[in-house]
Structure 1
């Protein structure tokens, strides 16, 4: 993941720095990181990670609104600071992160929007930079993960997919590019083979039996909420993390925010009761990024119009920060540096 830090850190000019200092004012940038718009700027900055928005939601089957996700995650999330207590590190001491703006997604144009998402993600990944994509509905994973596979090779990338739904339909109401079909498109194209999938959090009413049979034929692996309830999340997490390593050397993480119980994330298009808690999702994403060579991450289906008190926006924002924390800790550990002091546990003698 990433590349050597043999380049000097570039400083923002005072005017831009001032605009980024306060979370609730000034220009909108994820985590108040430098905001870049052109590929040439990526070459100049040479970051490890680039955030990019995919404000597209016309592939939804229930409630639209995820097109507003990227802006909301950038602008209305509580600014959490950049130190990770559990890992004992200052994230941006080890990871250079920039915001690369949004892919151009014109209203009502699926093919154009998906092509633009694929192109912008490819612009990032082809430079050895890890793309972190803010959706948008889940259909954006088709072009985004394809762009990553274009760079690292078809069949060389595995996907850990957090979701209430498997998103493996052949078509939904005649739509091959629905938010319920991206994983099938990735498998059928050869970009990510079915054997390279690990899905976590499935529950509810979908998919039906025939779709599950197709998934078995493809060699897919999944962990339902029933299994999590029976075995416990920590045990399932250990299994899923080890499975991901066995699937492929490179890993892409796709997080549909509806994997969370609606109590934690009400602002999504297809809420499904009975999901996991944010505390569990955050730690699993962090662990995956710490233990694996993660080459892409997306967080999708955040629909601010249905959110309450920014619960969903803040959960999605923290998913990204935990992913960045895991990547930073992986880099720190490779450099042989020890973490900061852990917090005291229990009463002191």
Structure 2
């Protein structure tokens, strides 16, 4: 992997042990090294960098997704790092860091979106896969644009899990609503409509004219009605195949409200009749295992409406399944001759700084 060895950092008694506790110590995703500056990415050379986008000004219903990134980092139950289905230790094959949050000042959509785009670009431009924790779904507009800036407009496809298509032209005059990001990406040319695969749509929005526009853009989508009629495995097989045919690179966007509210009540616009967490986790894993994923986001986690941390844990596991899929892809590509990534503890670093 070519990672640089880092000098040992002495910690006060008891501090090192805290790093292994899910309910104490430094707040970083998976207790991975916490970096703040772009130059640190050059030194660490990770494979994946987690970026928070604590922005929810684009919300139309219940606000609160700005608290999602911190909750996903701090509140989720620690799952361990060995994936029993794939038979691998995730961080042996994948070096992951937490790159902190984009600065999202209160009420300033343009500034916040610009900062999200710049921070994600700093990650993607170095050949590192950004995993973005939202925030409302409007953050996918700047985040996916940053990924397309690096890999080329028209070279990135999106698999979009959501109860809603998020393809409105505008909502109450707002072009940067959480109901409009996919249209903005298509109109800008960053991600053509033909490169979209949407899964889990249901309910009463958007209206017919928006679906007609989506057809004109050659978008592909799978509704919950189709999933109910054909079964999730059949639809999943089609969606994965469609994603593989769309583009060389793939960006996966997960609105947590794609899950039924029984699995994820802590979100701004819950819609009954959604998929289960078991199905979502396996599909995200499969996409990241079988395709060249260059970006992932998990959005619309609003902790204030959660119960027993169900939504937070589901979102946390979505990220871990994405990482597991990427790790398995790297392991399979090595074909027994590759070397696992060294963890930061193996490199003599005892504090995620």
Shared fold, TM over 0.5: yes
User: Is the contact between residue 20 and residue 33 of structure 1 (CA under 8 Å) also seen in structure 2?
Assistant: no
Corresponding position of 1:52: 51
SS in 2 for 1:21: coil
Structure 2: where are the runs of 5+ without partners? 338-353
Q: Following TM superposition, by how much is the alpha carbon of 1:21 offset from its aligned partner in structure 2, in angstroms?
A: 1.8
Corresponding position of 1:310: 309
User: Is the contact between residue 253 and residue 296 of structure 1 (CA under 8 Å) also seen in structure 2?
Assistant: yes
User: Is the contact between residue 20 and residue 29 of structure 1 (CA under 8 Å) also seen in structure 2?
Assistant: no
Q: Distance in 2 between matches of 1:322 and 1:162?
A: 15
SS in 2 for 1:296: strand
One of 13, 21, 24 as aligned partner of 2:9: 13
Q: Distance in 1 between matches of 2:143 and 2:23?
A: 29
Q: Following TM superposition, by how much is the alpha carbon of 1:8 offset from its aligned partner in structure 2, in angstroms?
A: 4.4
SS in 1 for 2:99: strand
Root-mean-square deviation (CA, aligned residues, Å) is 1.2
User: Is the contact between residue 4 and residue 43 of structure 2 (CA under 8 Å) also seen in structure 1?
Assistant: no
Q: Distance in 2 between matches of 1:140 and 1:127?
A: 21
Structure 1: where are the runs of 5+ without partners? 339-349
Distance 1:206 1:10, change over 3 A: farther
Point out 4+ residue stretches in structure 1 off by more than 2 angstroms: 6-20
Corresponding position of 1:175: 174
1:228 aligns with 2:227: yes
Corresponding position of 2:99: 100
1:157 aligns with 2:153: no
Q: Following TM superposition, by how much is the alpha carbon of 1:23 offset from its aligned partner in structure 2, in angstroms?
A: 1.1
Corresponding position of 2:120: 121
Corresponding position of 1:249: 248
Corresponding position of 2:342: none
TM-score by length of 2: 0.93
SS in 2 for 1:337: coil
Q: What whole-Å deviation, never above 9, does each CA across 1:237-290 have from its counterpart, x for those lacking one?
A: 000000000000100000000000000000000000000000000000000000
Q: What whole-Å deviation, never above 9, does each CA across 1:74-119 have from its counterpart, x for those lacking one?
A: 0000000000000000000000000000000000000000000000
Q: Distance in 2 between matches of 1:182 and 1:13?
A: 43
Corresponding position of 1:131: 130
Q: What whole-Å deviation, never above 9, does each CA across 1:15-66 have from its counterpart, x for those lacking one?
A: 3744422110111000000000001100000000000000000110000000
Taking the TM superposition and a 5 Å limit, the aligned residue runs for 1:177-256 are: 177-256=176-255
**Matched residue count:** 334
Distance 1:193 1:336, change over 3 A: same
TM-score by length of 1: 0.94
SS in 2 for 1:192: coil
Corresponding position of 1:39: 38
